């Protein structure tokens, strides 16, 4: 049989190539398997550039943690990164443990999965931002080294243990005194039955009776109503005004927060100023906008020229500012009362009440209004409530579409009382779809709660005591 020499040579060549490839693949697997046999502590100890970190791990006892079967990611600073580590940290067991734990996460994290910012929980309760090959301000120089019980990331800077925003406010001497003092004065005992001890039931109301002292918690009003700046999971920007800037804002807003005493006026004013000086986000220095929008939709100017110091915290930044000139027109918003959402009625006339979906012929938009017709009650009224009403002048408006009867009737808005005379009765002509000016009034004092009434004519006639309204708007005057 004739054998084709070329086919034999080709087969030999391919066989050699395949054998060589298998040997290289086996060698590759051998290398990988060897590294996967090491735990994190063994891998760190084997790297001479991490010897100082290895010493600290042993001193703190975290060497045993990283030798366990649990899974971790370690962000290990190099010897150079630890060269200037404060001796006070090294020589204090509690501080050292917090420092070491600030470099360890109890899950595996890879830079290849961090194409958007990951907020990583660390073993000491703090969090760090991982984005690509950056962890906080450190650069990952050796990335994604997989070992038996996790991942090793080598970093060129250590990560200091920072205080959170609230701790920084309490302890940092650079925080201006006046705003700080006010924010620290906001601690109160508030009702909280979560852990209360129930000792009975009120026979009249049917409500539980709790053991005194167990149904309240000590908390800060800023934490509850604005942001809890202790929360390590989130990031915040807190703006703290220099004492002179704080005084200027207080002086500006005192006329709008007139209370029953000088002290109550100061407290109301201080809250009005401070509640808008935080955001639940953090900005890179280059991206800090000229104006932020607060939680309460108030525009606050925070231009870079007004920032005299930036203090980094574990959950954001505190900006010390020389000025924050918030305009009253941005802080004191109009009140819009949707009249179909009444709280009270002066007489039980549900059978004469109608909630209507209409189309505004001027705007082409849908709206919903309330109609009370044929109720036969003089001064029939619907009651509403608005909160945090500032002491200033207001102009009042409504949209009230009379498409029910052909004659004009009158109705009024009562401020504080249904029959109050701060605003007059106003004619409601047929088929007027535009906003109508009702008059103006002044509140001498700040009202935490203000009752508003839509009041019919003092008549029992069905053609005179109709009530109809889409909304009532109260516009502050500056």
Give the Cα separation of 64 and 72 in Å (integer): 13
Going by pLDDT thresholds of 50, 70 and 90, the confidence category of residue 207 is confident
Q: Is 174 exposed, middle or buried (0-12, 13-18, 19+ CB in 10 A)?
A: exposed
Is the pLDDT at 1 greater than 70, yes or no?
no
CB 161 within 8 A of CB 124: yes
Closest CA to 328 of 262, 255, 245: 255
Reported as a single tens digit per residue, the pLDDT across 331-344 is 999 999 999 999 99
High-pLDDT (> 90) share of the chain, %: 84
CA distances from 3 to 6, 11, 13, 15, 215 (A): 9, 13, 17, 18, 98
Confidence (pLDDT) at 378: 97
Closest CA to 400 of 340, 310, 322, 329: 340
Give the Cα separation of 272 and 277 in Å (integer): 10
CB 272 within 8 A of CB 253: yes
CA 316 from centroid of its chain's CA atoms: 12
Give the Cα separation of 294 and 384 in Å (integer): 27
Confidence (pLDDT) at 23: 43
pTM exceeds 0.85:
no
Give the Cα separation of 402 and 430 in Å (integer): 5
Parse the chain into domains and list their residue ranges: 40-155, 165-331, 335-477
Return the half-sphere exposure (C-beta side, CA atoms, 13 A cut-off) of residue 111.
18
Give the Cα separation of 147 and 106 in Å (integer): 14
Return the half-sphere exposure (C-beta side, CA atoms, 13 A cut-off) of residue 338.
7
DSSP H/E element including 244: helix 243-253
Alpha-carbon dihedral angle through residues 408, 414, 417, 419, given to the nearest 10 degrees: -30
Confidence (pLDDT) at 210: 81
Planar angle of CA 154, 157, 162, nearest 5 degrees: 120
Is the pLDDT at 17 greater than 60, yes or no?
no
Is the pLDDT at 390 greater than 80, yes or no?
yes
Going by pLDDT thresholds of 50, 70 and 90, the confidence category of residue 300 is very high
Reported as a single tens digit per residue, the pLDDT across 422-465 is 999 999 999 999 999 999 999 999 999 999 999 999 999 999 99
Residue 2 CB coordination number (10 Å): 4
Residue 110: phi and psi, rounded to 5, are -115, 140
Output the DSSP codes for 67-99: TSSS-EEEEEE-TTTTTT--HHHHT-HHHHHHH
What would the two tokens of residue 201 be? 């039931």
Return the half-sphere exposure (C-beta side, CA atoms, 13 A cut-off) of residue 340.
12
- CATH 3.30.1910 describes domain 165-331: no
High-pLDDT (> 70) share of the chain, %: 92
Going by pLDDT thresholds of 50, 70 and 90, the confidence category of residue 284 is confident
Planar angle of CA 354, 358, 363, nearest 5 degrees: 150
DSSP H/E element including 14: helix 5-36
Specify the pairing of strand 187-191 against strand 198-201: unpaired
Give the Cα separation of 15 and 21 in Å (integer): 10
Confidence (pLDDT) at 33: 57
Is the pLDDT at 14 greater than 70, yes or no?
no
In the block, residue with structure tokens 């808008």: 276
Is the pLDDT at 3 greater than 70, yes or no?
no
Confidence (pLDDT) at 209: 81
- Return the axis-axis angle of helices 177-184 and 262-274, rounded to nearest 10°: 100
- CATH 3.40.50.720 describes domain 335-477: no
DSSP H/E element including 328: helix 328-331
Confidence (pLDDT) at 192: 74
Q: What is the DSSP letter of 107?
A: S
Fold of 40-155: FAS1 domain (2.30.180)
Same-fold call for 165-331 versus 335-477: no
CB 203 within 8 A of CB 232: no
Going by pLDDT thresholds of 50, 70 and 90, the confidence category of residue 86 is very high
CA 43 from centroid of its chain's CA atoms: 41
Hey, is 325 helix, strand or coil? coil
Q: Quick one: residue 34, left, alpha or beta (phi over 0 = left, psi -120 to 50 = alpha)?
A: alpha
Reported as a single tens digit per residue, the pLDDT across 150-204 is 999 999 999 999 999 999 999 999 999 999 999 999 998 777 777 777 878 888 8
């Amino acid at each position: 049989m004739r054998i084709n020499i070329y086919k034999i040579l080709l087969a030999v060549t391919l066989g050699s190539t395949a054998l060589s490839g298998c040997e290289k693949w086996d060698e590759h697997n051998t290398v990988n398997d060897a590294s996967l046999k090491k735990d994190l502590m063994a891998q760190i100890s084997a790297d001479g550039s991490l010897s100082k970190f290895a010493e600290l791990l042993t001193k703190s006892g975290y060497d045993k943690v990283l030798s366990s079967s649990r899974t971790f990611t370690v962000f290990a600073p190099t010897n150079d990164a630890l060269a200037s580590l404060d001796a006070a940290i090294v020589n204090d067991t509690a501080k050292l443990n917090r420092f070491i734990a600030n470099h360890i996460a109890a899950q595996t994290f890879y830079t290849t999965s961090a194409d958007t910012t990951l907020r990583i929980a660390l073993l000491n309760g703090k969090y760090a931002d991982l984005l690509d090959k950056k962890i906080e301000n450190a650069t990952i120089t050796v990335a994604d080294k997989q070992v038996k019980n996790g991942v090793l990331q080598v970093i060129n800077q250590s990560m200091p243990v920072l205080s959170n925003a609230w701790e920084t406010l309490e302890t940092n001497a650079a925080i201006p005194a006046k705003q700080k003092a006010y924010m620290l004065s906001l601690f109160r005992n508030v009702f909280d039955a979560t852990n209360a001890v129930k000792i009975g039931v009120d026979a009249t109301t049917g409500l539980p009776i709790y053991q005194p002292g167990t149904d309240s918690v000590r908390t800060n009003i800023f934490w509850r109503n604005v942001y809890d700046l202790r929360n390590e999971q989130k990031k915040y920007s807190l703006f703290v005004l220099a004492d002179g800037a704080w005084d200027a804002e207080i002086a500006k807003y005192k006329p709008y927060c007139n209370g029953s005493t000088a002290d109550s006026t100061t407290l109301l004013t201080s809250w009005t100023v401070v509640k808008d000086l935080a955001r639940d986000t953090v900005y890179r220095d280059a991206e800090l906008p000229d104006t932020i929008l607060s939680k309460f939709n108030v525009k606050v100017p925070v231009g870079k020229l007004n920032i005299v110091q930036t203090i980094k915290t574990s959950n954001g930044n505190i900006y010390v500012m020389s000025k924050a000139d918030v305009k009253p027109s941005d802080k004191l918003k109009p009140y819009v009362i949707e009249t179909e959402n009444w709280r009270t009625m002066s007489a039980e006339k549900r059978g004469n009440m109608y909630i209507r979906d209409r189309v505004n012929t001027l705007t082409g938009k849908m709206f919903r209004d309330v109609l009370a017709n044929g109720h036969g009650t003089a001064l029939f009224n619907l009651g509403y409530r608005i909160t945090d009403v500032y002491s200033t002048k207001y102009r009042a408006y409504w949209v009230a579409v009379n498409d029910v009867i052909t004659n004009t009737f009158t109705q009024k808005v009562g401020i504080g009382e249904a029959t109050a005379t701060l605003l007059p009765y106003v004619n409601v002509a047929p088929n007027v779809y535009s906003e109508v000016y009702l008059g103006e009034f002044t509140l001498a004092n700040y009202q935490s709660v203000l009752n508003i009434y839509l009041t019919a004519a003092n008549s029992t006639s069905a053609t005179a005591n109709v009530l109809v309204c889409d909304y009532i708007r109260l516009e502050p005057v500056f």
